[in-house]
Structures are given as C-alpha cells and as structure tokens.
Chains A and B, each alone.
Chain A
Amino acid sequence: MRLDLRNSSAAMFVALGIAACGGGGDAGSSGGGDTGGGAAPPAATIDPATVGTISGMINFAGDAPAMRAVDMSGEPDCAAAYTGGGPMTQSVLASGGGLANVFVYLSGGVSGAPAASGAVTLNQENCRYAPHVLGAQAGQDIQITNSDNLLHNINASPTTNRGFNISQPRAGITSTQKFASAEVMVPVRCDVHGWMGAYIGVVDHPYFAVSGANGSFRIANVPAGTYTATAWHEEYGEMTGSVTVTAGGSADLSFDYSASMAGADVPLGEPLVVGHDGAHTHAGQ
C-alpha cells in the first residue's frame, strides 16, 4: 500500500504512455493529451512477465451529427482561442472512422488490482475541460487546475460517491479531489459556463483508457487473463466486449459504434458492480 517514489515515477511514465493515445480531440487544448490516460499501476505488485497490453479501436459508422456552435461571447478571452467556426460542442467527436472520448474499462474478470497511486489531472482551458472524458481509479487523486484567468466552478454530481463543488476564480488555482468508490460516470459541470461539462469514469483498478481523436486507445500492464470490457459514450451509450490478454502480448479490442445508436439510454452515475473479487457491490443501491 505504501507508495514507493521510484515506482511512482515509473507509474507516471506509464500513465503518460497510455495518455498519448487518449483524451485528445480538444481543439486548442494542447495540454489535453497528457491527461486522458489511465492510472498508475505500481510495478511492485506486477511482474512484467505476467502482463500484456490491450490495444483497441472505437470504430464509428455513419455520419456523425453536425456539431453545434457554443456561444462563448460572454467570455471573449476564451472565444478568441477558437479559430475557424469558433467553439463547437464536444459530445460527438468522430473522425476517420473513429470515435473519441469513449471511456473503456475492464468491467469483469479483474481479480485484483494495485492500489491507486499518482494523480490524474483535469484542466480548465479556454472555457473547456481538458480532457472532456477522464478516467480515475477509486481513491486516486484528481488534480483539477484552472488555466483560465476567470471564474470556473467544478461541480461534480456523483450518486455513489460524495460530490464536491469548488470555485477557482483565477488561473493557477488547483484543487485535489478523489472518489472513494467506482462509479461510471461522474458528471462534472461548470455552472458559470453552462456549456462546460466533463465526465469522470471511476473504477476500482487502473485498467481503463479514453479513446483519442482517432478512436484508438491502449490499456497497459493488464494481468494475463480473459476479461469483460465496457465502453461508454455520452451519446451512444454502453457496449461490452470480451478480451483475452496474454503475458507479454498485445490484445486487440474494438467496439463498433454507429450513428444509428443516437439517443441510446446512457447510464450515468449508476453504481458499478465490478471489482477485485468480482462481487463488489455498493450498499444502499
């Protein structure tokens, strides 16, 4: 349980490696790519010879709905950061046959997991969250930073977990929060700017990722085994699949979303039954 500094830095390196594939797609958000990845599995409990990697794709068929313009005229400093058509909605980002901002995690078959370590970050930049979809391990620090020199509030409304609502009226203010229990997803909202929303997927282990701009994702250091995997998208809902990871191997996992799934019932903030022994439930639900 103790955090070893060397392991921690190694873990951060891994996290960044995962993040390279995740969380992208934010116009004008150069920092978005380094926050979308996974948590940090401490190597102490993992023998590299026993783990593999999941490399996957979120495919998208059909025409993505036209994005709507976001009226940021009330915050000209933010609006100025967006060129071309100006800021657009982020709910569906599909390009080249891939769908971004899909949260993918192992939802069954995980029999144990390293404790949470390191931190994931959620940034507010040009009146947007970066990333728009974020994963975190239960108990893991979530560092929330304001890069805009104006007021944002970060209002998280989970149901399984305790929420929070904090103000950050200036650039450089940082808050550290965490969620004790798994919950997919925790909605986050800025009440000052009604268009600002994000989702945090909280799971009991570090085996999760968020698809990047081209729909790809990668989950590293997964113990060999056969798992159920779940993908979650804010407009198109959930899909599940199966994946078998072999030691030292790279397993493929893909989910096929399509435009016809629009309007799907999107579970949100529902308690997640997943965990170390496969029988983790949340009392009172």
Chain B
Amino acid sequence: MRLHQAVRFAVLALFLAVPAAVAQDAAAGKAVYDLWCAECHGAEGLGDGSAANAMLPRPRNFSEARYQVRTTGSGELPTDADLVNVIQNGLPGTTMPGWPNLSDSETGDVIAYIKSFSRFFGQGDAPQAMDFGRDPGGGPAALEAGAAAYLALECEACHGSTGRGDGTSAPTLEDWRGLPIRAADLTEAWALNGGSSVEDIHTRVLTGLDGTPMPAAIDAMNGGVVTPDEVWQLAHYVASLGARETPPLLEVVRVGRADGALPADGSDAEWEDVEAFHFPLGGQVIEIPRNFAPTVDGVWVQGMHDGSDIVLRLQWNDPSRSPDPLWDEWQVKLMGALDMDGADSIALDSLGAPTLRPADAFTVQFPFEIPEDNERPYFLAGSARNPVYLWRWNSQDGVSAARGRGMESFEDLVDDPVVGDASWADGRWTLYVRRSIQSEDALSFTDGVAIPVAFSAWDGSSAEMGKRASISSWYYVLLEQPPSSTVVVTPLIAMLLTGAFGLVLVRRAQDRGRA
C-alpha cells in the first residue's frame, strides 16, 4: 500500500513539475501491460514471461529498475521521457519492438504500472537527465578526433578495432545476471539498442548501459582522459562507422556483366565498384530446434558474371572466427542461457570446455531448376518433391554443392563445379564463390531472368548448427544481359512500328474525310 502511494505521489509530483507530461494511471496501465507486455516481461514484471527463456538479452526485470537506455547517470533511475522513448521506439537489436500503436495516455499509464513493480521509484527526487553539453559538430577533423577518443577510452577492448564487436574482451562479456551478451556491432548503427543518432550515442557513452558491460565514461571524461568535445566527436565517429538506418531491401541482386575479367577472389579491388545488396537474416524459429538469438543478422551480396561464369561475394558480420577455443566460455554460457528446444547439447569435458566447437557456415540457396511458374521450393532447404540447390561453405571444409530436401536432408554434389574461398578479418567473413553459368546437373543461370535465391548463416561459437541457423526468405538474383544488338535495335523497331501505326491512323482518317 505504502509503495503504491509513493508511486502515486511521485507520479503526481512529476505531473506537477512537467505540465507537458501525460497523466499516468497505473491501474489503467495494468490493462495495457497485461495485453502487450506480460508475455515477455512476466505478469509480475520479473522479466520471466513465457517467451523469456528463448531470448538474449532477456526481457527487463522491472522489479530491479535496472535500465539500459537512460539520460541519467550510471545506476540512476530513468526519467519518464527515457521510458517513453524505449516504449515508442523499442530497443533495436533486441526482441523489444517499438509500440507506436499505444496512445500517449496508454504509454503514460503503462509507465506508471511498470514503475510500480519496483520499490526504487518513488524514493527521493524524480530522476533528472544529465547535462550533456553542446555538440561542437562533425566533419573530417571531428571524425579524426573521435577516432583518437575511441582509442583513448579503449572502446576497442570490447567493440574491436573496426567496431564490429570483436574486441579481445568480447568472448567473456556477460550481463549483470551472468548471461552472455554481445558487444554492440557499431558498424550496424541501425541495430544499436539506444538509437543511432550522434546524440543517442553520445548519451550512451556518458551514461553507460546499466546491467550490461558498457560503462559510463563520465569519470574518465572528468578525469581528463577525453574532453567533453572529444566525447561528442567520438559519437560522430561511431555514427560514421555504418549506416544509421536499416539498409533498404531491394529484393534483387543485380549481377552485372563484367567488361573484362571477373574478380579473382573476395579481396579483389574490383568489388569496390560493384553494388552491394543487403538482405536481413533472422533466427530460424519454424522448425525445432529454433534459434531466437541468432548471431548473424544480415548479409551483403555482390555479384558479377561474364557470360560463362558467375561470381558472388557475400559479407556478414560475426565477431568470432569459429572454431576458436577463446570463445569456449561464450559457447558454454550461451548453451546454458538459451532454451535450445532439447537440441542435442554439446557435452563438456572435465575442464568445462565444449567437446564440439562447430564451424561457422553459410549457404546460398537456389531452386534446383529455374521454376517455370512462380512455384519456388520450400524456403527452409527445400522438400523431397521440390529440392533446392545449395552452395555450402563452412570454415573447416570450404565450399561445396549439395541438393537439399529439407533442413536435415542433404546430398553432396561432388561433381559440381562451384569453387570458393572465405576469409575472416575484424569480425567479418568475406565469402567468394564462382561457378560456370551453365550446368548439366543442377541450376543453369539464364540472364535476364529473376532466379530465386536465399541465404543462411551459422555462428559455430554460438553453438549454431543444423536448424539453429540465421535464415532469409526467398529473394532473387538477376544476371544482366549483355549490351547486345537487341538492346539497341529493339527501341528502334518500336519507334518505327509506332510511327507506322500513326501513319496508318492518319491515312484512315484522311480516307474517311474524303468519303
């Protein structure tokens, strides 16, 4: 009772202090919470909803009032505006979606109810946002200073030298309850859970993300390691490491026709001029065992052909180059933290290390033949009736081809001419594959025809293998046709025909006029 009253009082105080704030009614908030939030966060706000154990990071336990995304100092409670921000925008990169469907009053009410789960709210003064100072602005000099601040604050210890979350401490990171947690991939700013703007990043640097290993740099700044301006410049630098918005989904990989030789490998400089297409990957959650916390969240695809061969370059971020014993601890913790759907668990040896370290893997999936109608094979590796043609790569065996009849039925195509190679650097795999366009035994590529393609990825250090994959739905590759005579001639013919048709019409009109 006392707690409830305290919350009420705090809410009232907030309301009086900030006239713009929306009135909050915890009782009304309960209805909103039970409908939308309880499934993950639990009926009592303990972060133990029925879906929670499949998720990493876990849903927030509101009784602890330990919030990552705040404008307040480390360890402090969030402001109401902070909570509104997270509810409206969600936490990108996690299972928390935004809730723009909630009205302002519903949002205010549910915040009041969420706060009532914790005794911390209502004690003392209302939380106050920190003073974050003024952004001195971006530009090349700022980015250079920001890069220096990145080193001065040793951000690379966890986030890695290029920001892909592959720092030396990354394999041992855990959240406050001992569950494994990723260092954010700063090159995918669209997936930063606190937002991707310079202001958002600046705030996260100074406040930290409570409950995670990300510390607040405020004492380092006050201690003179970096100046306040340099923290802003660091934010500009981090924001420059990747796109702020999710890359557009263009559905079709346009495979251009090369004028000269095709790129010889994944590091060929020629790739720099080839358009890259981004395809999101998500955890496979249809067949058991499912994967609710996939490592690989997307792939960049480039392609070229020369009329006889096709080459693809596929790049995806994965902070671990599996198999790697340095990630043993991560793998063991992850297997313990996730609901693995009863998947064959990997036994541990007497020292607690896993007895199996799965490889990293990737597949490019096509129909076995170009479908005559639009009937594509089942996207999860095909079916017995309608198989798929797969280019399979893993970090131990390299590239090979297979016929897939479902996620656990593969037949190696030993005579398939596909070749390829992969390399890993700074948290990113680059896979290069090459094959003749024509094939007697499997898919033959035809230019000018959209051919279905799909992608799957596995991070071995996260015990991903078999059905525990990251997958995409079907997209297309389109091999561009050569700039042959037909390209030039067809419009000419069309023009002539149009002209002739016009003449006929004119003649007829004239004939009628005479009649």
Contact = CB atoms under 8 A, between A and B. Distances in A.
Interface of A: 74, 150-151, 153-157, 159, 162-170, 172-175, 191-194, 283-284
A172 B3 CA distance: 42
A166 B64 contact: no
B289 to A, nearest CB: 28
Nearest to A283: B119
Contact of B66 (A154, A163, A166, A283): A163
Given A163-B176, A192-B169, A153 B219 contact: no
B218 A166 contact: yes
A150 B77 CA distance: 29
A165 B208 contact: yes
Given A151-B153, A151-B157, A191-B213, A169 B220 contact: yes
B158 interface: yes
A53 to B, nearest CB: 36
A268 B211 CA distance: 17
Q: A-side binding surface: helix, strand, loop or mixed?
A: loop
Given A163-B176, A166-B74, A169-B153, A193 B169 contact: yes
A173 B210 contact: no
A165 B450 CA distance: 52
B20 to A, nearest CB: 27
B437 to A, nearest CB: 48
B216 A167 contact: yes
Q: Select the residue from B63, B212, B215 with max chain A CB neighbours within 10 A.
A: B215
B152 interface: yes
Given A173-B219, A284-B3, A165 B225 contact: no
A159 B219 contact: no
B168 interface: yes
5 contacts: A153-B215, A165-B209, A166-B217, A168-B220, A284-B63
Q: Select the residue from A154, A162, A174 with max chain B CB neighbours within 10 A.
A: A162
Given A150-B154, A159-B64, A194-B172, A166 B3 contact: no
A41 B217 CA distance: 33
B300 interface: no
Given A162-B120, A166-B215, 17 more contacts: A151-B154, A151-B157, A154-B215, A163-B66, A163-B74, A164-B216, A165-B208, A165-B209, A166-B208, A166-B216, A166-B217, A169-B154, A170-B223, A175-B219, A191-B173, A191-B213, A194-B172
B220 A284 contact: no
B225 A170 contact: yes
Interface string B161-180: 00000001100111010000
Nearest to A167: B215
A191 B158 contact: yes
Contacts of A172: 223
Contacts of B176: 155, 157, 163
Nearest to B2: A283
A74 B119 CA distance: 41
B214 interface: yes
Contacts of A193: 169
B172 A167 contact: no
Nearest to B183: A191
B3 A283 contact: yes
A34 to B, nearest CB: 22
A129 B201 CA distance: 30
A165 B157 contact: no
Contacts of A284: 3, 63, 118-119
A155 B213 CA distance: 7
B138 to A, nearest CB: 23
A174 B223 contact: yes
Contact of B76 (A151, A162, A174): A162
A194 B169 contact: yes
B93 interface: no
B75 interface: yes
B170 to A, nearest CB: 10
* 7 nearest A-B residue pairs (beta carbon): A284-B119, A191-B213, A194-B172, A151-B154, A153-B215, A167-B215, A164-B75
Given A172-B223, A191-B213, A192-B158, A164 B173 contact: no
Interface string B458-481: 000000000000000000000000
Q: Select the residue from A155, A157, A174 with max chain B CB neighbours within 10 A.
A: A155
Contacts of A170: 220, 223, 225
A25 B417 CA distance: 65
A168 B226 CA distance: 11
A74 B120 CA distance: 39
Contacts of B212: 165
Nearest to B218: A166
Nearest to A191: B213
Contacts of A159: 64
Q: Select the residue from A150, A153, A173, A175 with max chain B CB neighbours within 10 A.
A: A153
Nearest to B175: A157
B75 A192 contact: no
Contact of B75 (A153, A165, A168, A194): A165
B24 to A, nearest CB: 20
Q: Select the residue from B66, B154, B214, B218 with max chain A CB neighbours within 10 A.
A: B154
A227 to B, nearest CB: 29
A165 B216 contact: yes
Interface in B111-165: 118-120, 152-154, 157-158
B214 A165 contact: yes
Given A151-B157, A284-B3, A169 B152 contact: yes
